[in-house]
């Protein structure tokens, strides 16, 4: 999977996906089941371990609970986890201090998988309730995540 090609393809598709949203805004409110079925389908087709794009380029926003969970897994104090791995970004959010994520292995495995932040568990969000609320964000996420790209692509072909 070529990340540059995915990004270029997603940018090319964005105007038609956004037009689809404008035409079907109300309809999308009732389409969670269809979107979730597409999420299942494409999550099975696309192997995250041969991708790793989100862990390489998008940083999750961490909550205090996330830090506590990581601290427990790493057998460190939360403050030590913050000092070693985290920083506060320009929006005042707690994020990893380097990208690719410091916990991403060269084999794309997450070394803190069982204790990974909530945002990592929920990415790429195509299985969340009220998907229409994050449709626009998903158009952006499709630049990084092939699952999101395929879900949006098939969704827009399904409904036209």
Consecutive H or E run containing 88: strand 86-88
- Among the residue ranges 20-28, 74-82, 129-137, 140-148, the one whose residues contact ligand SF4 (CB under 6 A): 140-148
Residue 20 interacts with ligand SF4 (CB under 6 A)? no
Question: How near is the Cβ of 105 to ligand SF4 at its closest, in Å?
Answer: 8
46 touches ligand SF4 by CB under 6 A: yes
Binding-site member from 97, 112, 128, 140 for ligand SF4 (CB under 6 A)? 112
For residue 17, give the 3-state DSSP assignment. helix
By C-beta, is 132 or 143 nearer to ligand SF4?
143
- Closest to ligand SF4 by CB, 20 vs 149, is 149
Residue 31 is a binding residue for ligand SF4 (CB under 6 A): no
H/E run at residue 95: strand 94-96
**What's the alpha-carbon Rg for the chain, to the nearest Å?**
17
Give the CA angle between residues 119, 120, 122 to the nearest 5°: 65
Strand pairing partners for 110? 104
Alpha helices (H) along 46-145: 53-57, 64-74, 78-85, 118-122, 135-141
Q: Which stretch binds ligand SF4 (CB under 6 A): 19-27, 32-40, 54-62, 152-160?
A: 54-62
When asked if residue 66 is in the footprint of ligand SF4 (CB under 6 A), the reply is no
């Amino acid at each position: 999977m070529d990340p540059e090609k995915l990004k270029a393809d997603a940018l090319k598709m964005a105007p038609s996906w956004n037009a689809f949203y404008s035409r079907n805004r109300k309809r999308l409110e009732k389409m969670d089941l269809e979107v979730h079925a597409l999420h299942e389908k494409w999550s099975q087709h696309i192997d995250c371990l041969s991708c790793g794009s989100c862990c390489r380029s998008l940083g999750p926003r961490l909550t205090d609970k996330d830090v506590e969970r990581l601290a427990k897994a790493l057998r460190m104090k939360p403050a030590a986890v913050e000092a070693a791995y985290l920083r506060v970004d320009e929006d005042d959010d707690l994020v990893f201090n380097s990208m690719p994520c410091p916990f991403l292995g060269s084999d794309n495995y997450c070394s803190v998988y069982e204790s990974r932040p909530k945002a990592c568990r929920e990415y790429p969000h195509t299985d969340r309730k009220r998907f229409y609320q994050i449709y626009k964000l998903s158009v952006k996420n499709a630049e990084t995540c092939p699952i999101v790209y395929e879900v949006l692509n098939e969704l827009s072909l399904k409904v036209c």
